[in-house]
Chains A and B, each alone.
Chain A
Amino acid sequence: MKKRENNIRPKLDTIILKTATNYLLPLLIMFSLFVLIRGHYLSGGGFVGGLIASIAFVLHSFAYNTKRTISLFRFRPLYLIPMGLSLSLFSGLLPFLISKPFMTSIWFLDSVAVIGAFGSALLFDLGVYLVVIGVVLTIIFTISENV
């Protein structure tokens, strides 16, 4: 009985999906970064970007398995959460250096190609991006491992 339960889920062992994923994963992640960076001028932003990146990893885990996906990281996706949170907080604290109130946006470079202006707001968005990836992957991988 127990054995059957384990086999209830047939392996998605398709060579097409695996091959496609190998190319899709970097493409999707690049796309997610693109969405993140363009967010300040056009539709996009850290939250959507993070979601797209997590979808990329979830796709990879479907093609292979969760363990293999986690091994793509040097650490567990859980650790992305504190990293992202502290990055957001750091970007919020930056204005203190020039004695402005918390979370005032400051700008380092005014016109960079594609990105536009580069400032603390982008750092903040990057933090959101990391948190979202960390949260989504932690939740989905934990559930898929334990259910």
Chain B
Amino acid sequence: MLLLIISIFIIGFAILFLRPTKDSKYFKFLSILPFGLFLYFLQFIPEIQSAKKNLIFENQWIPSLGISLDFKIDGLSLLFSLLITGVGALIYFYASSYMSRDPYINRFYCYLTIFMGAMLGLVLSDNLISLFMFWELTSISSFFLIGFNTNNEDSRKSALWALSVTGLGGFFLLASFVMMNSITGTFSIQELFSQSEVLQSNYQYYVIIAFLFLGAFTKSAQFPFHFWLPGAMKAPTPVSAYLHSATMVKAGIYLLARFTPILSDGEVWNMVLMCVGGTTMVVGAFLSVFKVDMKSVLAYSTISALGILVFLIGIGTEIALLAASTFILVHALYKASFFMITGIVDHETHTRDLTVLSGLKKKLPIVAICAVIAALSSAGVPLTFGFISKEIIYGSTFDFDFWTYNSVLILTALVLITNVFLTSAGLLVGIRPFFGKLPEKFENIHKPDYKLWLPIVILSVFTLLFGAFPFIADQGIISAVTTSIYRSQITQELHLWHGWNTILLLSGATIVLGFILYFIIKPSHKTVEKFDSLNRIGPQNIISVIAENIKLFAFKYTRFFHNGYLRSYILFIIVFIIGIVGYKFFNDVTLKINTNDLSPFRIYEFVIFVLIISAIIVITFTQSRLTAIVSLGVVGLSICLIFVVYGAPDLAMTQFAIDTLTVVLFVLVLFKLPSFLKFSNTKNKIRDGIVSISFGILIALITLQALFYPSNKEVSKFYAENAYLLAKGKNVVNVILVDYRGIDTMIETVVLSIAAVGVLSILKYKSEDEETRE
């Protein structure tokens, strides 16, 4: 399994080498990749149904940290894998025609393949860390796909929005995973199942679920983070169909479903999901019918559908989870088909404006039939798969055994409103462009080729097939999905016919009211503008104000600390050290100075001391750079003398050579500068004086303090004793450099080289630039 996922990524990069113009007609064969994967995952269906053995593929990664690349197939991950590869195969096929004239089609397929690999990894991972890694990969590949039209500013902007919102969520998700790990000591999802009580009784439980929710809600575009999804519709249509309706946005749903058996406490978890999901589904559905762009309608109805899924997971009863599992499949089937239809309409007529489009059925008959099927499925008309899911969605709210009378009314009313608006939105996209009078300018549009309409036909066939024979889907996979969320064998089944009851009445009412709404609300640009003006107080605006302020703060912060003056960097560093070390020192350490073992005072020590002090005074008060540099050299050489006196000849030699070179370097650079133009004022001098004197005092105190403690000489003793035995060297310093810690030395030389190359490139390029300018 690991090999499979890695090879997807490798193939993804290999696609980059296909040449767009020459090989364009071969891109349709790339759909063999997802289709092959689809067939591969299909073979797991019988094993999932029997549920006898766990399908786990174990791969070690970083065992010491508990991070593995274990993959596990259960009902939930299998459904998602099938959706990803199945819808993926259709999208690959579709895009080979839709994107055929794009000069960067190879990049497009590369991103798409990386996305598919990441998404498969996400749903199959059994380890929190690898799950997170794939989660972030989907965000990143989605960023490239949304911003695929790089020369369009809007597209770049919305790609950035999508990345920052989902990235923010990902950050919290990681925090949540790490907290789970610190409580349970494991990153394995399987092992978490048995520890769910430990997690729920921990005082950090609410923080964990809050962070997890943030991750899932941002990814799945829940209110108030929903705004990135309509923006993401700037992506090419196949991307919208694939990522932003069928797969990626459902990653949040997957996460919630996956963690329901672990983290659901029956109260807070469910209440939050129901509130957020409920708000999202109503708001999304309501907004969707007032849009004129087909893609906008679909974007908002997708948000609403995601809200329904979160809401159903929040309800958490057996039938609700069954409804959620079914609706994932239903929605993927009809929404992907809607998006591809929109793509065809856009491709042929070059507009997605619902106020202009009508009567296209004469020109695009096959597409029109599929559009009607999708619209009926979204409305929940019998014999489409949508009907089945709508029945059980109502079944899960209209459940007097579980809810009180009032909650049944409220919940059912919410779902009814949502469904009515969704029905109307579906009709808007599926019926409106195809019926009525054909405008003259569309008389001459050419027919789409088979690569465009075949995928839609396939999706429609499945919608009808599952609609007429729901047990195929149910026995096939839906019951296994529900089992893996519910964690115990389920008794409910999908039925076409539940008998004459209230739920059927509700379904009927939905369809009728939806049709009425469809005829009342006419798409117009005026209403769109009205809603746009409301955006000023919308969440997107609030968040962008926050983002602007963060940017401003970062700018000011950087300007203050990174002002480009070496002197202030040194000042900051030293003041910081004084602050933090001084605090620790005076707080936790009792000052003791051992005066007993001090060696007797020697006259040459005093001479060196006087030399250094007088050189420093000269540096501070001199008016010439050259004098300052030479005095600095005196300080350095005096320190050499100290090394000599205290028996460190190696250090002394090195210091001597370095000091010579430093003086040379200073002279080279500073000799050409004019004499000091501006002296630092008295205030600065006093400040610098205080800082350096207190730093000196601090270091002196620490040194004296260090003498008091018996030092651990084990390491140095080992080096000294074994230098000749192990390394055949008598100079311990050198043996440490070239042998004991040779790798350190090697890396240090690399650092030196980088410095040299840095100096060279900065100065050379600059001078060459100036030469060309002259």
If the complex has contacts A89-B746, A128-B749, A146-B767, are A105 and B661 also in contact, measured as CB distance less than 8 A? no
Q: Which residue of A lies closest to B738 (CB)?
A: A121
**For residue B764, which residues in chain A have a CB less than 8 angstroms away from its CB?**
142, 146
- Is A55 an interface residue when CB atoms closer than 8 A count as contact? yes
A117 to B726, CA, bound (A): 12
| The one of B735, B743, B753, B759 that contacts A85, using a Cβ cutoff of 8 Å | B753
Contact of A51 with B664 in the complex, beta carbons under 8 Å = no
Nearest A residue to B724 by beta-carbon distance? A41
Chain B residues contacting A144 (CB-CB under 8 Å) are 668
Contact with A along B750-774 (1 / 0, CB 8 A): 1011011101100110110000000
CA distance A44 to B653 in the complex (A): 8
Flag A112-142 by CB within 8 Å of B: 1 or 0 each.
0000110101001101100110111011101
A21 at the interface (CB under 8 A from B): no
Given contacts A45-B733, A135-B755, contact A9 B665 (CB under 8 A): no
Q: Which residues of A contact B735 (CB under 8 A)?
A: 40, 121
Q: Is the CB of A44 within 8 A of B738?
A: no
Is B759 touching A139 in the complex (CB atoms < 8 A)? yes
Asked if B627 is at the interface (CB within 8 A of a chain A CB), the reply is: no
Cα distance A123–B743 in the bound complex, in angstroms: 14
A123 to B665, CA, bound (A): 29
- Which of A5, A105, A142 lies in contact with B759, CB distance below 8 A? A142
Contact residues of A between 83 and 109, Cβ < 8 Å to B: 84-85, 88-89, 92, 102-103, 105, 107
Q: A121 and B749: CB pair below 8 A?
A: no
Flag whether A43 is at the interface (Cβ < 8 A): yes
Chain B residues closer than 8 Å to A146, beta-carbon distance: 763-764, 766-767
Q: Which residues of B contact A39 (CB under 8 A)?
A: 731, 734, 738
| A-chain residues with CB within 8 Å of residue B665 when the two chains form the complex | 139-140, 143
Q: Report if B672 contacts A (CB, 8 A).
A: yes
Residue of B nearest to A45 (CB): B734
A87 to B625, CA, bound (A): 41
Q: Which residues of A contact B664 (CB under 8 A)?
A: 58, 140
Asked if A81 lies at the interface with its beta carbon under 8 angstroms from chain B, I say yes
- B residues 623-654 with Cβ under 8 Å of A? 649-650, 653-654
| In the complex, B550 has a CB within 8 A of chain A | no
- Looking at chain B, what size class is its interface with the partner chain? 35 or more
B739 contacts A by Cβ under 8 Å? yes
Structural contact, B756 and A138, CB atoms closer than 8 A: yes
**CA–CA, A47 and B746, complex, Å:** 12
- The answer to whether residues A9 and B672 also contact, given A45-B650, A47-B737, A85-B750 and a CB cut-off of 8 A, is yes
B65 within 8 Å of A by Cβ?
A: no
**B734 near A135: Cβ-Cβ < 8 Å:** no
| B728 contacts A107, C-beta separation under 8 Å | yes
Does A147 sit within 8 A of B, measured CB to CB?
yes
Nearest CB to that of A102 among chain B residues? B743
Residues from 39 to 96 in A contacting B, C-beta threshold 8 Å: 39-48, 51-52, 54-55, 58, 78, 81-82, 84-85, 88-89, 92
- The answer to whether A40 touches B728, judged by C-beta atoms less than 8 angstroms apart, is yes
- A35 contacts across to B, CB distance below 8 A: 653
Does A8 interact with chain B (Cβ within 8 Å)? yes
B657 at the interface (CB under 8 A from A): yes
Main SS class of interface, A: helix
Question: Judging by beta carbons under 8 Å apart, are B749 and A140 in contact?
Answer: no
Q: Which residues from chain B contact A134 at a C-beta distance below 8 Å?
A: 753, 756
- Contact (A124, B742) CB under 8 Å given A51-B657, A84-B749: yes
**How far apart are the CA atoms of A42 and B654 in the complex, in Å?**
14
B residues within 8 A CB of A54? 661
> CB-CB < 8 A to B739: which residues of A?
103, 105, 121
Interface residue range, chain A: 35 or more
The answer, among A85, A125, A136, for a CB contact under 8 Å with B738, is: A125
Interchain CB contact (< 8 A) of B734 among A9, A44, A84: A44
**In-complex Cβ contact of A45 among B660, B731, B766, B767 (8 A):** B731
Does B729 make an interface contact (CB < 8 A)?
yes
CB-CB under 8 A for A51 and B750, given A43-B653, A103-B742, A124-B742: no
Whether, in the assembled complex, B727 has its beta carbon less than 8 Å from a beta carbon of chain A, the answer is: yes
Asked if B745 CB lies within 8 Å of chain A CBs, one says: yes
B671's partner among A9, A41, A89, A102 (CB-CB below 8 A) is A9
Residues of the B chain whose Cβ atoms lie less than 8 Å from the Cβ of A132: 749, 752
The closest CB in chain A to the CB of B743 belongs to A103
* B51 CB-CB contact with A under 8 Å: no
Q: Contact check, B749 vs A142: say whether CB atoms are below 8 A apart.
A: no
List, in ascending order, chain B residues with CB within 8 A of A102's CB: 743
Q: Name the B residues within 8 Å of A58 (CB-CB).
A: 661, 664
Interface core residue of A39, A40, A58 (most chain B CB under 10 Å): A40
Tell me if B658 is interfacial: C-beta within 8 Å of chain A.
Answer: yes
| Cα A117 to Cα B725 with chains together (Å) | 13
- Residues of B within 8 Å of A41, CB to CB, are 729-731
Q: Are A48 and B728 in contact (CB under 8 A)?
A: no
Closest Cβ neighbor of B648 among chain A residues: A43
Enumerate B235-288 residues with CB–CB distance to A below 8 Å.
Answer: none
Is B669 positioned at the interface, with any CB of A under 8 Å from its CB?
yes
A116 touching B660 in the complex, CB below 8 Å, given contacts A44-B653, A143-B763, A147-B669: no
* A45 lies within 8 A of B737 (CB): yes
Task: Tell me how far the C-beta of A32 lies from the nearest C-beta in chain B, rounded to whole angstroms.
Answer: 9
Interface residues of B in 708-752 (CB under 8 A from A): 727-731, 733-735, 737-739, 742-743, 745-746, 749-750, 752
CB contacts (< 8 Å) of B743 on chain A: these are 92, 102-103
Q: Could you say which of A48, A82, A128, A135 contacts B745, with CB atoms under 8 Å apart?
A: A128
Q: Which residues of B contact A47 (CB under 8 A)?
A: 654, 737
Q: How far is the CA of A142 from the CA of B729 in the complex (A)?
A: 37
B658:A78 contact, CB within 8 angstroms: no
Closest residue on chain B to residue A89 by CB atoms: B746
B756 with A81: CB separation less than 8 A: yes
In the complex the two chains form, is A44's CB within 8 Å of B730's CB? no
Residue of chain A at shortest CB distance from B764: A142
Report how far A55 CA is from B653 CA in the complex, Å. Answer: 13
| Distance in Å: Cβ of B438 to nearest Cβ of chain A | 72
Pull 6 A–B residue pairs with CB atoms less than 8 Å apart, ordered by A. Answer: A47-B737, A85-B750, A105-B738, A119-B728, A134-B753, A146-B766
Supplied contacts A136-B661, A142-B763, 10 more A-B pairs, CB within 8 Å: A5-B672, A42-B730, A43-B649, A43-B650, A43-B733, A58-B664, A117-B728, A121-B735, A143-B668, A143-B763
Chain A to chain B: the 9 pairs with minimum beta-carbon distance, closest first: A51-B657, A43-B649, A135-B756, A41-B730, A40-B729, A146-B763, A138-B756, A45-B734, A131-B749
- Which B residues lie at the A interface, using CB under 8 A? 649-650, 653-654, 657-658, 660-661, 664-665, 668-669, 671-672, 727-731, 733-735, 737-739, 742-743, 745-746, 749-750, 752-753, 755-757, 759-760, 763-764, 766-767
